[in-house]
Amino acid sequence: MLAGIRTVDLRKVYTSPPPVAAGVGGFSFGGSKAKSKQPKPQITALDGVSLEIKAGEIFCLLGPNGAGKSTTVGILTTRVRPTSGQAFIGDHDVWLNQVVVKRLIGVVAQRPNLDFNLTAREILTFHGAYFGLSHHERSKRAEALLERFKLTDRADHMVRGFSGGMMQRLSIARAMMHDPQVLFLDEPSAGLDPQTRLLLWEIVREYNQTGKTILLTTHNMEEGDALCQRLAIIDHGRVIALGTPCELKASVPGGFLLRLRFGVHSPEFLERLQSLSGVREVRATDGVGADLYADRGGSLVPAVAQLASAAGVELHDVHISEPSLENLFLHHTGRSLRE
């Protein structure tokens, strides 16, 4: 039953404007005359995306807004028709076997889509009913999920008055209700407070422990870094880098950061650090600390230590951080992911 995810050269060209702009459209009864005069827009959201995500993996799509993350998730969850290419959940072609695929997946969409006419508990139990769970089974699961997501005290309230974070937690609980093999989370932590984000990460890891595949999208590199076994960085509908967080970060030149602490240091000493080969920049943090940006990490430490002892400065502490995904994105696109 374990199911992975595979896409082959997915392309998606939208021929209508994005939904936000569609509000000005007006009546569309029959053939709308006003619209057909303007040329149809052609928005290429995906431009040949091929991915292979193993069963049981936590995989992350990382990219800025408009990169095509939600479109990829949409295609994989039957909500968007691919212009060309194929998408598979397990062995099932998503477009051709929609009902089979829908049984295998749980989806948390980017924008909230909770049923406003129901209470939190009813949202879970009705979702369970859609998937054919027995009455007993769905009450039991709903209770457990409400507990796990810390929603028990609001379980029988209408969700209309819920905060964004509570809605998000309930959306995730709902997606897990029918115990899907593959879980999609589209920007799950956008707008969550740090504490809830940690709860989310914990729950995602726990769900993954049971062999489930998880695809999550984010434009937050720390999340991709902390949570995922592998990730793909996408921009303008193309995969620009793919691998484990470590592999990806190692591919960035000059991306290491050495945080050094000395007994005491002087400007002359920092200048000498600057002249070491591979060092790009040195910044004093206070009287005793310095941040050293360089294109290598551990291999630079002996040289630093040597320099320090030659200058009579005592080296107290060295902390090496690996290059970050942020730097990788910057390196590939010349833009910052945060924008």
Partner 1 sequence: MNWKTFLAILARDAHVARRNFVALLFQTFLQPLMFVFIFGRVMVGSGYMPPSYKSLLLPGIMAICMVGTGIWAVAMPVIAEFQFTHEIEDRLLAPMEISWLAVEKVVAGTLQSLAAGLMVIPAAWLLLRPGVDLRVPHPLLFAAVSLLVALFSATGGLALGCSMQQTHIGLMFSLIVAPMIFFGCTYYPWSALESFPILQKAVLVNPLVYASEGLRATLVPQFPHLPLPAVLAVLLFANFLLMAMGLRKFYGKAVS
Ligand X SMILES: Nc1ncnc2c1ncn2[C@@H]1O[C@H](COP(=O)(O)OP(=O)(O)O)[C@@H](O)[C@H]1O
- Residues within the interface to partner 1 (CB under 8 A): 14, 16, 19, 22-23, 25-29, 74, 77-81, 98-99, 102-103, 105, 107, 109, 111-118, 122-123, 126-127, 129-132, 174
Minimum distance from residue 105 beta carbon to partner 1 (Å): 8
Select from 34-42, 107-115, 144-152, 195-203 the region that touches Mg ion (CB under 5 A).
107-115
Nearer to Mg ion, 111 or 319 (CB): 111
Beta bridge partners of 93: 88
Classify 317 as helix, strand or coil. Answer: strand
Only segment of 12-20, 69-77, 200-208, 264-272 that touches Mg ion (CB under 5 A): 69-77
Identity of residue 220: N
Report the distance separating Cα 158 and Cα 154, nearest Å.
Answer: 8
Phi, psi (degrees; rounded to nearest 5) at 120? -55, -45
Position 70 contacts Mg ion (CB under 5 A) = yes
- Cβ proximity to partner 1: between 66 and 254 the closer is 66
The answer to whether 220 contacts Mg ion (rule: CB under 5 A) is no
In whole angstroms, the minimum distance from the beta carbon of 254 to partner 1 comes to 42
CA–CA dist 171, 151 (Å, integer): 12
Binding stretches for ligand X (CB under 6 A): 14, 16-19, 43, 45, 63, 65-71
Closest to ligand X by CB, 53 or 282: 53
Binding to Mg ion by residue 110, rule CB under 5 A?
A: yes
For 215-252, the DSSP string reads EEEES-HHHHHHH-SEEEEEETTEEEEEE-HHHHHHTS
How far is residue 295's CA from residue 305's CA, in Å, rounded to a whole number?
Answer: 17
Residue 20, binding choice from ligand X, partner 1, Mg ion, none, Cβ under 5 to 8 Å by partner class: none
306 binds, among ligand X, partner 1, Mg ion, none (CB under 5 to 8 A by kind): none
Residue with smallest beta-carbon separation from Mg ion: 70
Q: How far apart are CA 265 and CA 268, in angstroms?
A: 8
Q: Closest separation between CB of residue 187 and ligand X, Å?
A: 7
Spatial CA neighbour of 173 closest among 194, 215, 212, 203: 203
CA angle 195–170–209, rounded 5-degree value: 70
Q: Is 7 in the site for Mg ion (CB under 5 A)?
A: no
